[in-house]
């Protein structure tokens, strides 16, 4: 008789729990604001487990905790959102922080640390918590509490883990949106800065040379009849200024999109880069066919920026550039034997490359231990 009665009850509990998980998952799928998801998780956990209080705690670098989400039954004890919590005691949250595993404490009466006393003061006597891990890092914990010692279901740890995973997914989505927005902002800013740079270079370089051409030719025109030798010298000067302007324009065009890349492909363009490098470069790149132009362009600028950094900062005696096709991706590596210590987050050049590669559904990695050279590796999707 007990088994017949218990089975429907367990089934009903499972149905309620799955419905709660679906409601939270729907919010996650709709990219709801994190605060709304946190509050929803806390409420769903509390109602499913039949507890009076739930909290979502974020572990801070300072070693303390911040409550980002909370729910409490009517008249039940609760901590306010954003409360600052010590994480050095024996209650559930500090134990999750230390172990990274689900934790349960059935009676807080024997604990005398600051947080335990604060919990008892508001009426909390037992709790269970599960870790929230984002990008491999322990981010925080979701905690269900009761006003009674031993007041939690026997399987509370197992059941709360599913909700912790949904919070993980929500945080990963929010983090991805923030990174995408930041990347787009950097790409836009880089575009604005590049246009300003091109404007300055045109004004200070080719434009000035062409102005000199016009002035020299105007003077030559006036002196052609009376001072033919002087006029010829002015024409010669105008030709030099014109050649200088052409050289400036070619350099600018190469910085935007080198002609050799369009005409002869990536390998030929990289050979040109290698020949102009300040340090000797060994190029290992054999491609049997042309790649999509966005892929070739991205790879070209990865190598160009990396070799520029090698020449300016690394103190290297040599560098090596390697290209290979692997599993629908182009793998690009630039390695040097310099002093290392490059920080991809510190300079706009490498950060801009990371954004460019990311826009191609790829990934840029920089490995640069001090004293052991630098490796720049880009993985670019072919389509």
Task: Give 168's contacts (C-beta < 8 A, 6+ positions apart).
Answer: 132, 133, 134, 139
Identify the band that residue 378 occupies on the pLDDT scale cut at 50, 70 and 90: very high
Task: Evaluate whether residue 180 is within a structural domain.
Answer: no
Identify the band that residue 176 occupies on the pLDDT scale cut at 50, 70 and 90: low
| Residues 365 and 270 grouped into a single domain | yes
Cross-strand bridge partners of residue 69: 56
> Does the pLDDT value for residue 265 go beyond 60?
yes
| Residues 162 and 211 grouped into a single domain | no
Number of domains in the chain: 3
Could you tell me if 268 and 260 are in contact, meaning their C-beta atoms sit under 8 angstroms apart? yes
Report pTM. Answer: 0.46
Identify the band that residue 3 occupies on the pLDDT scale cut at 50, 70 and 90: very low
Range of the domain at 263: 259-381
| Residues 156 and 210 grouped into a single domain | no
Give the span between the Cα atoms of 157 and 129, in whole angstroms. Answer: 7
In which element (H, E) is residue 28 found?
helix 2-29
CA separation, residue 367 to residues 26, 170, 179, 323, 354 (Å): 39, 30, 21, 17, 14
Question: What are the tens digits of pLDDT across the range 287-303?
Answer: 888 888 888 888 888 88
Q: What are phi and psi of 273, to 5 degrees?
A: -60, -45
| Residues 286 and 239 grouped into a single domain | no
| Residues 162 and 231 grouped into a single domain | no
| Residues 53 and 162 grouped into a single domain | yes
Question: What are the tens digits of pLDDT across the range 219-259?
Answer: 777 778 778 887 778 778 777 777 776 766 665 555 556 77
| Residues 245 and 334 grouped into a single domain | no
Pick the range with the lowest mean pLDDT from 76-90, 136-150, 368-382. 76-90
Task: Evaluate whether residue 196 is within a structural domain.
Answer: no
Closest-CA residue to 221 (of 209, 210, 207, 235):
235
CATH number, residue 11: 3.30.450.40
State residue 2's pLDDT score. 41
Task: Evaluate whether residue 184 is within a structural domain.
Answer: no
Cross-strand bridge partners of residue 126: 146
Compute the C-alpha angle 267/270/275, nearest 5°.
125
> Does the pLDDT value for residue 89 go beyond 50?
yes
| Residues 213 and 250 grouped into a single domain | yes
Between 354 and 135, residue with greater pLDDT: 354
Give the span between the Cα atoms of 190 and 268, in whole angstroms. Answer: 27
| Residues 235 and 163 grouped into a single domain | no
Domain end point (choices 231, 256, 281): 256
């Amino acid at each position: 008789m007990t088994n017949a009665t218990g089975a429907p009850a367990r089934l009903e509990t499972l149905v309620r729990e799955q419905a709660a998980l679906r409601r939270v998952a729907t919010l996650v799928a709709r990219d709801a604001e994190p605060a709304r998801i946190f509050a929803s998780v806390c409420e769903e956990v509390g109602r499913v487990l039949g507890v009076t209080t739930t909290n979502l705690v974020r572990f801070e670098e300072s070693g303390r905790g911040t409550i980002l989400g909370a729910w409490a039954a009517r008249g039940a004890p609760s901590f306010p959102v954003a409360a600052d919590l010590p994480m050095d005691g024996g209650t559930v949250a500090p134990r999750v922080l230390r172990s990274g595993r689900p934790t349960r404490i059935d009676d807080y009466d024997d604990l005398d640390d600051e947080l335990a006393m604060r919990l008892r003061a508001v009426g909390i006597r037992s709790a269970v918590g599960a870790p929230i891990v984002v990008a491999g890092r322990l981010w925080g914990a979701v905690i269900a509490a009761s006003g009674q010692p031993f007041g939690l279901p026997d399987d509370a740890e197992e059941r709360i883990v599913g909700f912790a995973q949904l919070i993980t997914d929500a945080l990963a989505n929010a983090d991805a949106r923030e990174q995408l927005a930041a990347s787009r902002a950097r790409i836009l800013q880089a575009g604005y800065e590049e246009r300003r740079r091109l404007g300055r270079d045109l004004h200070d370089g080719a434009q000035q040379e062409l102005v000199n051409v016009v002035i020299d030719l105007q003077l030559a025109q006036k002196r052609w009849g009376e001072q033919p030798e002087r006029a010829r010298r002015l024409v010669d000067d105008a030709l030099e200024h014109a050649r200088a302007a052409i050289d400036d324009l070619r350099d600018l065009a190469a910085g935007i999109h080198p002609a050799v890349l369009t005409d002869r492909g990536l390998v030929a363009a990289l050979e040109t880069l290698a020949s102009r490098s300040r340090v000797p470069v060994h190029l290992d790149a054999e491609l049997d066919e042309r790649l999509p132009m966005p892929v070739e362009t991205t790879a070209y600028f990865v190598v160009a920026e990396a070799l520029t950094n090698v020449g300016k900062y690394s103190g290297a005696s040599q560098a090596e550039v390697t290209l290979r096709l692997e599993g629908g991706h182009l793998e690009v590596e630039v390695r040097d034997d310099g002093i290392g210590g490059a920080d991809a987050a510190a300079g706009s050049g490498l950060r801009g490359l990371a954004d460019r590669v990311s826009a191609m559904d790829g990934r840029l990695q920089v490995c640069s231990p001090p004293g052991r050279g630098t490796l720049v590796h880009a993985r670019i999707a072919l389509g």
